[in-house]
């Protein structure tokens, strides 16, 4: 089965300012427990080897979704609503490498493909995909 894990985290940013964030992972596993163990191993390895995870202090499981059959029509897998305006943040899909058989599609100019731009503190405003 396919498992999608949604996580939140506490982080200490520059000058030890408190930050928080979210990330998601995906794995094929035999059970939710096996998937959880895979996610745990990935998170620990990222903490050791990745600058992106270096300042993360705590990780929380938000949801783990088990998918027995790939849906033929799009389904909504997660929604989050927060008070106030959209905060300044940086996000990246597949931040380290793109494994064989997986493609990332972004909506330019909303994303920067230049590796040197990935760790910038510059915040860009995205254009709406849909407006109501």
Tell me: pLDDT of 115 over 50.
Answer: no
Task: Establish if 124 belongs to a structural domain.
Answer: no
| Chain segment 68-90, per-residue pLDDT in tens | 999 999 999 998 888 888 777 77
Q: List the CATH number of the domain containing 54.
A: 3.30.1280
Burial of 84 by CB count in 10 Å (0-12 exposed, 13-18 middle, 19+ buried)? exposed
Residue 87 within any structural domain of the chain:
no
Which pLDDT belongs to residue 16?
87
Contacts of 129 (CB under 8 A, 6+ apart): 107
Residue 53 lies in a domain: yes
Q: In this structure, is residue 97 part of a structural domain?
A: no
Residue 11 resides in a domain: yes
- Where in the sequence is the domain holding 55, given as residue range(s)? 1-70
pLDDT at 117 over 60: no
How many independent structural domains does the chain possess?
A: 1
């Amino acid at each position: 089965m396919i498992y999608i894990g949604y996580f939140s985290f506490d982080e200490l940013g520059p000058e030890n300012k408190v930050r928080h964030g979210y990330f998601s992972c995906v794995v094929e596993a035999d059970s939710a427990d096996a998937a959880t163990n895979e996610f745990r191993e990935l998170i620990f390895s990222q903490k050791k080897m990745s600058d992106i995870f270096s300042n993360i202090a705590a990780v929380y499981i938000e949801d783990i979704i088990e998918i027995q059959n790939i849906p033929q029509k799009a389904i909504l897998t997660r929604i989050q609503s927060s008070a106030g305006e959209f905060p300044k943040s940086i996000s990246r899909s597949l931040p380290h490498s793109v494994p064989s058989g997986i493609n990332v599609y972004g909506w330019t100019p909303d994303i920067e493909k230049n590796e040197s731009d990935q760790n910038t503190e510059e915040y860009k405003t995205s254009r709406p995909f849909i407006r109501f």
